[in-house]
Amino acid sequence: MKYVDLNNTELNVSRICLGTAGFGEKLNEEECFRILDAFVQAGGNFIDTANAMIQPLFRIHQTNCSYYVNFYLGTAANRSLENG
C-alpha cells in the first residue's frame, strides 16, 4: 500500500480510500467486516463515510455505514488479539 501526507495535517493516509456508502444498506455486518478486514490487512487506513453521515439527520437509513465502521473500529483490537 502506498501512502501520502494529508494536506495541512500530520496524517499519513493510504492512497486508496475505502468508500462505505453501501454498508448497512446493501451489505450486512458480516460482509462489512470482511471488507474492512481485507482493506486493513492490505494496509488501508483511509475510510470514507461522508455520504452516509448525513443520513441519520434525515432518518433515511437507520443502520448506516458509520455504525458498522465505528463498531468495527471499536472491536478491531479485540479481534486482533483473539487471532494472535
Instruction: Give residue 38's identity as a one-letter amino acid code.
Output: A
pTM of the model: 0.71
In percent, the amount of the chain with pLDDT more than 70 equals 71
- Residue 68, pLDDT above cutoff 70: yes
pLDDT tens for each residue of 12-53: 999 999 988 888 778 888 999 999 999 999 999 999 876 655
pLDDT score, position 70: 78
Instruction: Give residue 40's identity as a one-letter amino acid code.
Output: V
Neighbouring residues of 64: CB distance < 8 A, sequence distance ≥ 6: 23, 24, 25, 52, 53, 55, 56
